[in-house]
Amino acid sequence: MKGFFLGFFLFTSMFYGQAPYPTDYFRPPLDIPIVLSGTFGELRSNHFHAGIDIKTQQRQGLPVYAIGEGTVTRIKVSEWGYGKGLYIAHPNGYTSVYGHLQKFSPEIEAYVKNIQYQKKSFEVEIFPQFSELKVQKGDLIAYTGNTGGSAGPHLHFEIRSSASEMPTNPLLHGIEVRDATDPTLLSVYAYPLSGNAQVNQSQEKIKLKYHRQSDGTYLADKVTALGTIGFGINAFDRQDLAANQNGVYSVKQIVNGKLYTDFNFETFSFTESRYINTLIDYNHYSTYRERIQKCFKDESNLLGIYKTIYNNGKIEVSEGLSYNVEIDIYDLAGNLTKLVIPVEGKLEEIKIPKIEEKTDNYIIAKKPNNFDLGAAKVYFPANTFYDNFYIDLKNGQDTITIHNSKVPAHRNFTITFDVSKYTDEERKQLFIARLDNNRSANYASTYKRGTTFTTRTRDLGTYTLAKDTVAPQIRPQNFKDKQWLTNYSYLSLKITDDLSGIDTYNATLNGEWILLEYEPKTNTITYNFDDLILDKKQCNLKVVVTDNIGNSSTFTSTFYRK
């Protein structure tokens, strides 16, 4: 079986001209069959997936092993993101990353916990001295979990270049995944791109019909077009043993035998990951939650994933000429789904004209833009947006609306509210909030300076000043006051806030700080009795929780242990 996967690797290496990654240096991070719920380069919100997500049989607590000898160079414990994450540098120039961990191995766990108690913080980022925490290939380093921004138990696993920190596809390093299934094509769209372009009598993008042929390829109905056009596809890949709709590895576009577009997910740079919003049709995604990958490249697209790009993947269609467009969708194992689109150059009557909504304000993407909306001022630095567009701006009393969510912002922009009409006491309870589709207020990080409140964000939408006067709630989950807890292994409390959200939480046991693990997905804080720092029968617990506005609640309880 190993030869089977190695053969596929050699195929893809030759076919895509990849670097010769070592395929026998690393072992898998788990001792169970590697089944994926997420692939490398998969399309996510505002970023590409930087690793693979390995299923853990819907369980937590599976042993995680070092894939090779090395030294721990970074440990990060965070409420979101990778949760509990571990980074190991290997002598061959790569770094392996393990995310969403439940806990670390006993040695690493003790090392981390010691620093957490020193800093009196659950969230820590540690960079151990080189060779301070050495590991050998196959050493136990952690246990799988569901911490951070994980939506279910799994192991997030990466292999990065230690020098450039660019992630590379772990499957290119010999990590074996069974895959004999072709990618699945869900939909295909044609785009008129130039001012005079048309596709099937439309100046707007249009969905194409296609059908499966006897040889397994797909054939689209003939397209009539004129001018500069492009195509986009929505597709996914499914590996064996899993039903997950994962990302595809490579897309090629061939026009009349000439390679126009070739991009794949061998590697990418974190610094360019947000340009995913130029690879997909963002407006379409925002409206229909369907990610169409463009086979053409916009001017603002600075992604380095393209191996070949001719005429930016755009097709110049002339009247009276015919074009054979072939779109090939590959997974890493070499399985192929092929779509053929016949195009005829033909001038036709336009039945669906291009619609452009114009407003009083126009954004020049490459220049800074300032707007005074009365209640607040908005400043867009140069290159906040990818393209020029008419922006819709509305103002009300303490509320402004900045266009809508159909336009992505690449950089943070600034919103500044004037709060001079409020008293000092009122300002303490106010914050900037973004209203969601249900008009619910969501806290936006608010910087208060005198009579101005400022937030920096990349989310367009409606912003307002909101007031939070209610302190967080603290409720014990698994114990009661005055209870004997001799046989308990942990304490659990639920902390919630009705508006601005939890900012800080701290606890003491008989006056000494103790470590609480915060899980925001379940709104729980947990204290492990393995950390018991006082050998006393009577234990006095004090928990203080503060929201983002400064409203604070204190919970006290006494319990007993032998």
Domain of residue 485, CATH code:
2.60.40.1220
Same domain flag for 283 and 135: no
- Would you put residue 336 in left (φ > 0), alpha (ψ -120 to 50) or beta? beta
- Whole-model pTM: value is 0.92
- Please report whether residue 297 resides in a domain: yes
- Please report whether residue 20 resides in a domain: no
Query: C-alpha distances in angstroms, 443 versus 32, 131, 319, 459, 509?
Result: 42, 42, 55, 13, 31
Same domain flag for 480 and 460: no
CA separation for the pair 405, 457 (Å, rounded): 13
Nearest Cα residue to 469 out of 443, 500, 442: 500
Same domain flag for 145 and 88: yes
Same domain flag for 327 and 417: no
Nearest Cα residue to 512 out of 537, 489, 540: 540
Same domain flag for 132 and 246: no
Total structural domains within the chain: 4
Nearest Cα residue to 557 out of 470, 475, 473, 472: 475
Same domain flag for 45 and 112: yes
CA separation for the pair 100, 152 (Å, rounded): 9
Same domain flag for 454 and 499: no
Burial class (CB in 10 A: 0-12, 13-18, 19+), 47: middle
Which residue among 318, 345, 372 closes a domain? 345
Nearest Cα residue to 40 out of 159, 185, 176: 159
Nearest Cα residue to 407 out of 369, 374, 350, 445: 369
Q: CA quadruple 76, 81, 84, 89: dihedral positive or negative?
A: negative
Give the CATH number of the domain where residue 423 resides.
2.60.220.30
Which residue among 145, 172, 199 closes a domain? 172
- Please report whether residue 29 resides in a domain: no
Give the CATH number of the domain where residue 150 resides.
2.70.70.10
Same domain flag for 200 and 291: yes
* Full DSSP string of 412-424: -EEEEEE-TTS-H
pLDDT by position in tens, the chain (length 562): 343 344 444 444 444 444 579 899 999 999 999 999 999 999 999 999 999 999 999 999 999 999 999 999 999 999 999 999 999 999 999 999 999 999 999 999 999 999 999 999 999 999 999 989 999 999 999 999 999 999 999 999 999 999 999 999 999 999 999 999 999 999 999 999 999 999 999 999 999 999 999 999 999 999 999 999 999 999 999 999 899 999 999 999 999 999 999 999 999 999 999 999 999 999 999 999 999 999 999 999 999 999 999 999 999 999 999 999 999 999 999 999 999 999 999 999 999 999 888 999 999 999 999 999 999 999 999 999 999 999 999 998 899 999 999 999 999 999 999 999 999 999 999 999 999 988 899 999 999 999 999 999 999 999 999 999 999 999 999 999 999 999 899 999 999 999 999 999 999 999 999 999 999 999 999 999 988 666 778 999 999 999 999 999 999 999 998 8
Same domain flag for 404 and 332: no
Same domain flag for 449 and 514: no
- Please report whether residue 356 resides in a domain: no
Q: In what order do the strands lie in the sheet with 552-560?
A: 512-513, 502-509, 538-547, 552-560
- Please report whether residue 523 resides in a domain: yes
CB atoms under 10 Å from CB of 319, counted, come to 11
Same domain flag for 509 and 541: yes
Same domain flag for 428 and 460: yes
- Please report whether residue 189 resides in a domain: yes
Nearest Cα residue to 457 out of 415, 500, 394: 415
Q: Where do runs of H (alpha helix) occur along 382-433?
A: 424-429
- Please report whether residue 18 resides in a domain: no
The angle subtended at Cα 266 by Cα 260 and Cα 269, nearest 5°, is: 95
| Helix or strand run (H / E) with residue 502 | strand 502-509
- Please report whether residue 259 resides in a domain: yes
Q: Which domain holds residue 413?
A: 361-467
Give, as one character, the DSSP assignment of residue 60.
Answer: S
Which residue among 467, 498, 532 closes a domain? 467
Query: C-alpha distances in angstroms, 149 versus 81, 167, 439, 498?
Result: 5, 19, 24, 21
Residues across the chain: 562
CA separation for the pair 331, 308 (Å, rounded): 18
CB atoms under 10 Å from CB of 234, counted, come to 20
Nearest Cα residue to 176 out of 129, 245, 240: 240
First and final CA of the chain: distance in angstroms?
56
**Buried/exposed 22-33: b ≥16 CB within 10 Å, e otherwise:** ebebbebbbeee
